[in-house]
Structure formats: C-alpha cells, structure tokens
Structure 1
Amino acid sequence: MTQKSNYDPSQAGVQMTLSAIAYADENGDYAATKTAIENELAKSQYATGGNWKLVWGPGITDKNLMYVAQNQLNPDRYSLAIRGTDFDFFSNIKEDFWVSQVKYPYATSVGSALMVSNGALFGLQNLQKAIDPSLGQTLEDYLKMLVTNSSVNLVVTGHSLGGCLASLALIWLYDTIPTWSINANNMQLSGYTFAAPTAGNSDFANYFDAKVGSNCFRVVNPLDVVPHAWAGLSTLITKHIPTNVPLLIDPIIIGAAFYLKFKGWIYQQLDTEIHLREVQIPSSVDYLDQVEDQHDANSYLYLLGAPQTDLSPPSPLSKYDKNITL
C-alpha cells in the first residue's frame, strides 16, 4: 500500500473497525442499535481490542447515524464514527445520488467558490442536529464539554457515504471550533476515511487539503467503484474497475460523466490518498457482485490486515488472494 508521512496502518485498522461497527443492527430501533454498538465495541478479537467504549450516541437524524467512542487505555483519545449507506433508507440513497452542488457554508475564507454535493451537505446537517437522548446533547455540545477542562484527540472516520460525511464533518470542526468560545488548542483533530465518494469540487478539495493536510487519510481499495463517484467515473471503464464494465452498464457511466460535466458539477477527490493493494476477482464472477465485494467493510479490513467483524460475512477476497501474506 502507498504510505504517507503520518499514516499509521494499525490506526487505520482500528478506525475502519469503528466505522464498520457503525452499521451494527442498522435497521433496529434506537435501543437495539445502541446495544449492538456497545456489544461490538466490547469484542476483544477486533482491531479495537475491546478497549473502546461508547460515550456519546448513537445520534440519529433522518437515518444518518454517528457515535463517539473513547479509548479506555488512552482516555484522551476519541473517535467519531459515521455510518455509511443503508439501502433500506431512501434518505441515505438520496444523499449518495443528490450530486448537484451547493456552496460549502462554513468556510473561513471570504468569496471562495467551495462547492460540495447537496446530498453530502444534507447528511452533515442531519448529523449536526442529532442528539444523544440520554445526555440531551448534540455532538457540538458534547465536544465543548469534553474540552473545557482537558485535551482531546479526536479522529473522525467513516466508510462509504460515512467516509464522505466524515470528511465534511472534519472540515466543519476545523472551521467552527475556533468560534466555540473554548480553548481550541485542547482539541486535536484528524481523520481516516474509507471507500469515500467525492465530497466537492476542486476549490473545496484544495481548501480541505490546505487546512487539514496529512491529518486526514483517504484509504481506497483501487478496485472499489465508490471512490470514483463522482470524480473519475470514466476511469471505471478505462482501468476496468473492478473488472471489464459490461456493455449494458458502460453507457450509464458515460452518460453520468457527461451529465455532470454538462451541468458544471465537477468533482475532485481529496489528497492524502492511501492505496491498498489489489485483489482481483475473476471476471467469471458477476460484475455487480464484484462491485459489492470490493466495497464491503470486511474487504477493507481484510486489505488492511485487520480482523474482520461479525457484522457481515467474511470478505470473499481471501478466496482469490494470490498473496495471502500481507
């Protein structure tokens, strides 16, 4: 895999595990989902080692979910994990495909043309409204309380749509924490996103990279379709991702790329990209099955060399891996 200066593979495994746990009992009621997250955090066989505890949330608004976990061995370390798409929820699907662009509203620079997808901004604003029912606090309220008397190291993470929303949540925190009437130096922010679709245009990407830099890592399976939405759609065809694109799907991809260009909704991925190694699935396997398998949370854990979760079947990549030794 490609290494960046501050990138920590073991930390990536922990954060991907926390991102996967955000999917726990995703179709249950609030109490069941909270209990499921707590139970998953307690499992010592995961990369998280049973050392993380749910301390805020889950906060849920319009089917967007996030939670905060604290590392019990290093109590100043927290993670904000944001759930990705649940296709049982129309609002999640809308956020994935609502690709028209709107101005990013939290920028500290004046007159900038920072544009993000309507769907991603809608998801972020849902998360901003989410409340932990037992604490009666939004995420912002909770973080203000945390940093009043102590230093906090917060990692923002998520998989798929959750990764896209994690990047927006991270830059929102960078931009707004200085206005919170707290000691901003008490909050150290970083991010690990996985399989994230593109959040915004080139001005937004450049703004994010200049402000956050190598404090956020965008971890990508090169054979995963999702990180190519909505920047790089044409590469799905030219680079055969995850395999040769079927003739019935080829014009859909070309049409989507043309439509985005025609509307002027040009996207650019964030920098600090970490490429995981490729495990090619034979072309005899159905294309859409390959798309799902390469994007799966357990496949990301497999490629990271981290234990997979019990939340979904084991990644099929191990069956086709020609280099089992990571």
Structure 2
Amino acid sequence: MKISTKLLLLCLALVLSLTTVMTSLAMANEELDQVRQIYLLSGLSNGVYDIRVNDPEVPSGGFDELLRDKVETALDDEYIQDYIGEWNLVWGPVVDNTPLQTLSKTPKELPYASNSMYVAQKDNQYVVSIAASNGKSLFDSMVEDSFVGRQIDWEYADEFPEELDPKIAGGTLIGLNILLNMNSPGQGKLLDFLGEAVQGPNDEVPEIIFTGISLGGALSPVLALAALDSQDTWAHGNPFNIYVEPIAGQTPGNEDFSTYYDISLGNNTTRIWNSIDIIPHLWNEEMLDEIPSLYEPEIGATGLIQTLVEGAKSRARGGNYTQLMPDTLPLEGTVMQPIPSICGEKSTSINPSPLTETKAFMEQADYQHILAYAELLDVVAPYCYLVDIGSLPDMETTSIKLSTAPISNGSVASINTVNQETGIE
C-alpha cells in the first residue's frame, strides 16, 4: 500500500475517532425529557430553605431578591441549559414569611420562609414552581403539613359530578390561600399574571405546568385545580392547557376530592413518588399502616416510630384521606446502607450501625424523601451542580412530618390557636 494511501486512511480514521468522541461529549449533557426538566425547575423554588431572615446572605431586597438571584443564576447557567433548555424567570419569585399577615390576621414576620413560588417560561410553556416544606419553619410543619384534623369544602367549583363532596385539609387550604395572595411587584398575583399570559397574542396555546416537591407536591395540584375551576375570573375564555407534576407530595384531601381531581386533571397529571418515601404515605390510613415496614428487613420500626404512626392515624382518622391519582405506579426505591453521598462533600454518608434504630429509620426516611429522587430520575449530575452553585439548598433533613406535628386530637389549645389566627372555624 502506498504511503499516501496509508496517510489518507489514517486521516479518515482520526476524523471518525474525533467525531465519535465529540458526539459522546455532546450526548453527555443531552437535554432531559420534560418530566426531569420540570423536576429540576421544581427544586429551584427552595433556594431560601434553611436561611434566616436576618442572615448576612439576605440582601436589602429580602428573601424575594435572594431567591431571584439563585433562580436566575441557575437558569442562565450554560451547563444547566444543556439539560433543561433556556428558561426565563417571568413572575416572582415571591417568598412569604408572614403567613398570618397574608391571611389578613395578626401580622408577624417569621424568621424563616414558609412558602415560595416563581414562574419560568420557555416558548409556550409556563412552569409554576412551589417550594417544599422549610425544615426550619414551624408554621410549615405545624400548620400546612399537619393540620389535617379538620377539612374544608372545596369552594372553587359551583357544582360537582356524581354528587361528590370534595374537601381538603385545613392546612392545605391555608397554603393555597397564601399562594393565591402572593403579589409580585409590578406583576400582580399569580392568576392575574397567567391571565395576561393566556390573553396573548400567542402562536401556540399556552401550557401552564404546576409543580412542587413535598409540601409543594401537595399544593401544586390543589393550586392547579383552583386555577382551572376559577378560570372565568382570570382567563376570560382565552385558550390554555393545564398540566401538573406533583413530586413526593402528601395527600391533600378526602376521597371525593381525589375523584374530582382525577376527573378534572387526571389525564394531564404526572404524579411522581418513591415507593419507600413516607411523605406520600400521609394521610391515607392504609398507607400510614405501611410506614413501619417500609425499610425492613434492613431497618425495623421502633416503638417510637409505631407511636408516631399511630398519632398520625389518629390525626387523620375519619377524614377518608385518599392520595391523588392513587393508582399511579411509584418509582421503586431501594433501602441504602450506608446512605450515599451523591453530591460529594455536600452530603454525608451515614452508616446506620452506630445510630439508634429510630434515628436510622429517620435518616433513611430523609434520604428517600430528598436525594433518592435525583437518583431515581437519573439527574444526579445537574442536581449536584445546582447544589454546588448555591441554587439548590443542601437539604439534609426534611423535618419528618410524623414527628414535627404537635397538632393532634389531644392538642386542643394548638388547634384553637390555628383556628383563631387563620380564620378557619
């Protein structure tokens, strides 16, 4: 073979090799499917998690400005754009740490954020991202997460099919009212903004996607249904489609509410939950019964765990709580021992052997409720990158709602206080 021919073949081989390498590099950050994009966007509403209002990190503009900086940092990052595409912040963020003032009751600024929400846009899609429970917020854990002993009629629709009587938990209603009353300066409340968005002119029918994790996973479908049922007051006949991606959310209402939601938005809902995450097991009594054995045989439930579960069942008893889209298949979680550090130094591997059994159970529950979703959805790389740049919080604990909910049948004083301060009778 001539030298020139050999050189030509060598050059061709080199070109093919470089093409293969460049293709594999390009695929390494291939844009995610919509479900995983929305999962990452849902996490960004938690940027002020665990931060105190007087922390030096909080700028003069308060929590709103801090969360705006964190969300925009993420959305403008080229590495993240490779995964989720180019989204723009178009409403908010709005952070509420005066929930009682929002409810037109005793004004009082709380030290930690209780609720956060923002809207991002890409083309004809608008993602409404609602924050999870703040582990440091007693209002979240005592009221929005756990005030389930009293249910309130669903009042956003004039009539219901099949003689349904849908009701939601008192804490869920309080959270919903907080979100509906959030006001973004110069943009108004969420539904006002969405009304302008659907008014157009639009080349395509706008798609409004409601999402959130944990508390946000309970509130996002409720807010979506409220928007759908009240559309005459804000959409004024303009076309739009609503989609919902609730993640790791607890049960917001009774069986009739679940049925009504399924009829209204079931076909447009992608519910995501981990089979061994205890939070989606709240507050349905049959699912609560499954909690003590979720991590067996690796980790058994202690007497304390059993007591906490019985307390949760007592709180929810008689409410006929039924998870939304109850037939949705879960992501199949795996008990991890030791708990992995998926984000390197940002997390700590926990070997349960030196821990008490109760603490080992709770640490596993924390992992299954937060980090496990990033692994199950195969988004560890962008998730940990967002943690590294400070746009996602390093959420080490979830304030497990079994143990941080003092409102029970025996806590009459606590219930009366909630009633007085929120106006729920």
Over the aligned positions, Cα root-mean-square deviation in angstroms equals 2.3
State yes or no: 1:174 paired with 2:228.
yes
Q: TM-score, normalised by structure 1?
A: 0.85
| Deviation at residue 244 of structure 1 after TM alignment | 2.1
Letter matched to residue 44 of structure 2:
I
Partner of 2:363: 289
State yes or no: 1:65 paired with 2:116.
yes
Contact 1:43 1:50 in 2 (8 A): no
**Cα distance change, pair 293–239 in 1 and its aligned pair in 2 (3 A):** closer
- Whole-Å separation in 2 of the counterparts to 1:314 and 1:223: 18
State yes or no: 1:248 paired with 2:308.
no
Deviates more, 1:37-46 or 1:124-133: 37-46
- Whole-Å separation in 1 of the counterparts to 2:178 and 2:304: 36
| Deviation at residue 209 of structure 1 after TM alignment | 0.1
Structure with the higher helix share, 1 or 2:
2
1:210 to 252, 263, 270: 263
Q: Secondary structure at the match of 2:47?
A: coil
Q: Secondary structure at the match of 1:66?
A: strand
Partner of 2:157: 107
Q: Secondary structure at the match of 1:234?
A: helix
Deviates more, 1:89-98 or 1:102-111: 102-111
- Whole-Å separation in 1 of the counterparts to 2:235 and 2:127: 22
Partner of 1:54: 89
- Whole-Å separation in 1 of the counterparts to 2:134 and 2:158: 33
- Whole-Å separation in 2 of the counterparts to 1:152 and 1:130: 22
**Cα distance change, pair 199–48 in 1 and its aligned pair in 2 (3 A):** farther
Spell out, residue by residue over 1:260-298, the C-alpha distance to the aligned partner (whole angstroms, 9 max, x if none). 22xx222000116241132222386211111111111x4
- Whole-Å separation in 2 of the counterparts to 1:155 and 1:181: 15
Bigger Rg over Cα: 2
1:1-326 matches, within 5 Å, as 10-26=33-49, 27=51, 28=58, 29=62, 30-46=64-80, 48-49=83-84, 51-61=86-96, 62=99, 63-71=114-122, 75-93=123-141, 94-99=143-148, 100-109=150-159, 112-133=164-185, 135-149=186-200, 150=202, 151-180=205-234, 182-184=236-238, 186-231=239-284, 232-240=287-295, 243-261=299-317, 264-271=318-325, 273-282=328-337, 285=352, 286-296=360-370, 298-306=371-379, 307-308=382-383, 309-310=386-387, 311-313=392-394
Letter matched to residue 157 of structure 2:
A
Letter matched to residue 229 of structure 2:
D
Equivalent pairs: percent with the same residue?
Answer: 27
Structure 2 residue runs of 5 or longer lacking an equivalent are 1-31, 52-57, 100-113, 339-350, 353-359, 397-425
| Deviation at residue 238 of structure 1 after TM alignment | 4.3
**Cα distance change, pair 234–178 in 1 and its aligned pair in 2 (3 A):** same
Q: TM-score, normalised by structure 2?
A: 0.66
Structure 1 residue runs of 5 or longer lacking an equivalent are 1-8, 316-326
Structure showing greater relative contact order (alpha-carbon pairs closer than 8 Å, 6 or more residues apart): 1
- Whole-Å separation in 1 of the counterparts to 2:249 and 2:77: 26
